[in-house]
Amino acid sequence: MYIEPPTRKPITVTTLAKLKGTGEKFTVLTAYDASFATLLEAAGVEVLLVGDSLGMVVQGQRTTVPVTVEDMIYHTRNVARGCRTALLMADMPFASYATVDQAVSNAARLMREGGAQMVKLEGGAWLVETVRQLSRNGIPVCAHLGLLPQSVHKLGGYKVQGREEAAAQQIVDEALALQDAGADVALVECIPAELATRLAAALKIPLIGIGAGSGCDAQVLVSYDMLGITPGRRPKFSKDFLTGHDSLQAAVEAYVRAVKSGEFPGPEHCIA
C-alpha cells in the first residue's frame, strides 16, 4: 500500500451520533476489497459499506438477490484488512434474516468472520423484533427503508417510494419504530427529498440518504458509480466525481467535500 492511513480516531456509532448532534454531515461509500478500503479511508470517508451491490458491480448479476452470506463474509473480510479508522458496515443479503434466530446467527458471522462493525437490513416494521434482538446481542444495526433493492421482484422494479402521504407517513412511523427497537442508524433510498428532510428531523439517530436529497445527515453512493466505473447509465442520484480530477483519491476527496458542504446532492440528483 502506498497511501498514508488517516490519523483520526476510529469512527464508531458514538462518533456518528455526535456528528448528527453537531449538524456535521458525514460520508459513506461502498467498498469491496482492501485496496479500495484504504483509498476511501485515506480520502476521509467515515463509513465503508460492504454492499450487496457487489452482486451487480463486481459479480455482474442483474440484481442483488443472488448474493450469499459467504459472498458477504469474503468481501467484508477483505475490506476489513484495509480498514483502520472507518466504521465498517456490511449488508445482510437476501433472505439471510428471514427469522430472528437466522438474523442473529448471520449477523454474528459477518462480525466474527468478516470483521463488520455494523450490519444493514432492508425492511420496515416487520424487522422490529429482529433489530431488538440484534441490539440486545451487541450488534449495531442500520435500518434500510424506502426503496429496497432485495425486494425488486416484489416491487416490480426500482421505483421511488413514499410519494403519497400515506406511504410517506408509513416510512416515518417504521423508521421511528426501528429506532426505538435499537437501530443505531437509518438509511433511506429513493424517496422524495422533502420526506427525507422530514424524517431526519424526526429521528434521533443519524439518517443516511441515497437518492433522498441533501436533508439527510449523511450520503452514500456506490463507489463504482461515483467513479464512473459502472457500465451503462449512471443513476440519476449519483455523480461522476472522477471527471476533472487526476486520481481516484482526489475524486473521493471531492465527494467528501461536496457532501460536507451541502453541495452534493444538488437539485438535479434529487427526487421531487
What lies within 8 Å, CB to CB, of 226 at 6+ separation is 29, 238, 239, 240, 241, 242, 251, 252, 255
Nearest to 147 by CA among 134, 163, 169: 163
Distance CA 46, CA 27 (A): 6
Q: What is the DSSP string of 34-50?
A: HHHHHHHHHTT-SEEEE
Closest by CA to 1, choosing from 252, 249, 253, is 249
Q: What does the alpha-carbon distance between residue 264 and residue 209 come to, in Å, rounded to a whole number?
A: 11
User: Would you state the cell numbers that stand for residue 149, as one nine-digit string?
Assistant: 433493492
Q: Hunting for cell 442483474 — which residue is that? A: 62
Q: Which of 259, 10, 257, 210 is nearest to 91 (CA)?
A: 210
Looking at 4, 189, 253, 263, which residue is catalytic? 189
Q: For residue 88, which of 184, 12, 7, 4 has the smallest C-alpha distance?
A: 12
Q: Which three-class secondary structure state does DSSP give residue 174?
A: helix
- The residues that bridge with 146 in the sheet, in sequence order, are 189
- Is 189 noted as a catalytic residue in this protein? yes
Q: Which residues are catalytic?
A: 189
